[in-house]
Amino acid sequence: MKKLVKAPLWAQILAAIVIGVLIGVVSPEAAEVLSPLGDIFLNLLKMLIVPLVFFSITNGICKMQNGKQLRSVGGRIVLYYVASSAAASIFGVIGGLITQPGKNITDFALAGEAAEAADFSMIDNIISWFPSNIVKAMAEGNMIQIIVFCLFLGVALLALGEKASMVIKFIDEGNEIMLKITEYVIAISPIGILSLMASMVSTVSGAMMKEVIVFIATIDVTIVIFALIFYPLVLKFIGHLKVSKFFKEASASMLVAFTTTSSAATLPVSIKVADEKLGCSEKVYGFTLPLGNTCNMDGAAIQFAVVAIFACNLFGIPLTAERIFQFVFLSLILSIGAAGVKGAGIIMSTIIIQTLIGDAGLTLIPIIAAVWPTLDPFATCANNVGDLTGTTIVSKSLGMLNEDVYNS
């Protein structure tokens, strides 16, 4: 037991999933007794959503520019990171629309009732994104309105610079506090997931498990396809660089990213690769890699887009053009806000599902939590490749890439 407590979080969650499944199969009565623990865990996740989104997204925008860094470096890398995350979101939506995970479920019983899809026009939908009262939006948990407000606030704080230094510091410290609270909640997640899995096993059909497999495969395969298409195109046609050389040298950091599923743990290796193997300037990678570690999450953008489609299909929400645009927007913004959050996949998936489906959709969280360990290695690897690609391209565009080192 002591070894399990000291084990990495992924190992604890895996053990919780196995134990929860066994309890659900062997004793449905015991699963019912444990169900309050799962409800408490879901409530804690919901508790985090509004303050975490507010502080993490606003803080992420504030950190996109540092007055001590060259504007040319900052401008180029921010443009690249936004473009790559947007492209990843679109790839995720396309992948989800092709495979349609959750589409073939007609007896989905996790929520006990189907979510109702409201009819709305694109114009009305876009108008509804803009809050007339941000306090009301926060009280009601209207995530899109909160995100839009955070975008305005973050840009305003950037524009004011030193004049708003105290507010920026407050946002930064508030973000740190929320990350710490999130750590506490994620630390007890194995208990909540055990309870939720035990309750879920007795209600999930074989058809549902098949759709979960489609969901996992869609995300992992889409991430691989994105990495094999988008990054090589950028390197070849924008950087005019040898693609095979890049991936050969980046393989060390890719392997660390894949095995640790931690962008922070991979950063020292990425810096070493950028400096010694790719020939990037320290003036560039010293800024772009830590920034990318904070706000460039291409893999997460793909994950969130597919999660949105999976949830809508399960709950019978039509995939209209308006909603597809909404998926791309949410995936892009939340992939930026997700950086630095331990257990970000589960937390941000909760935000997306609640935004699209409402509280009824939160019964999907145990499934998301259960399969996330199979998704993180591919996503973290893509995040790392994206950071190194951006760093290399910016170095080349500014004439700061040592091509002798790159081509050696």
Could you give the CA distance from residue 368 to residue 316 in angstroms, rounded to a whole number? 18
Per residue in 335-365, pLDDT (tens digit) is 765 554 556 677 778 888 888 887 777 778 7
Number of domains in the chain: 1
Mean pLDDT for the chain overall: 81
Which region holds residue 240: left if phi is over 0, alpha if psi is between -120 and 50, else beta?
A: left
- Contact predicate 45/185, CB 8 Å: yes
Could you give the CA distance from residue 296 to residue 84 in angstroms, rounded to a whole number? 8
- Residue 243 pLDDT class (50, 70, 90 cuts): very high
pLDDT the model gives residue 98: 95
pLDDT the model gives residue 217: 94
CATH classification at residue 379: 1.10.3860
What is the arithmetic mean of pLDDT over 73-86? 86
DSSP string, 336-393: HHTTT-TTHHHHHHHHHHHHHT-GGGGGGHHHHHHHHHHHHHHHHHHHHHHHHHHHHH
Residue 302: C-alpha distances to residues 93, 148, 223, 349, 380 (Å): 7, 21, 7, 12, 11
What is the arithmetic mean of pLDDT over 134-156? 83
DSSP string, 126-162: HHHTS-S-HHHHHHHT-HHHHHHHHHHHHHHHHHHGG
- Residue 50 pLDDT class (50, 70, 90 cuts): confident
Instruction: Please indicate whether residue 48 or residue 57 has the higher confidence score (pLDDT).
Output: 48
pLDDT the model gives residue 231: 96
pLDDT the model gives residue 353: 84
Q: Is 186 exposed, middle or buried (0-12, 13-18, 19+ CB in 10 A)?
A: buried
- Highest mean pLDDT among 13-22, 95-104, 137-146, 226-235 belongs to 226-235
Containing structural domain, residue 308:
2-406
Q: What would the two tokens of residue 139 be?
A: 């009280």
pLDDT the model gives residue 340: 47
Instruction: Please state the pTM of the whole predicted model.
Output: 0.71
Three-point CA angle 398, 254, 277, nearest 5° = 45
Residue 20 identity (one-letter amino acid)? G
- Contact predicate 81/393, CB 8 Å: no
pLDDT the model gives residue 113: 45
The residue to which tokens 């009824």 are assigned:
360
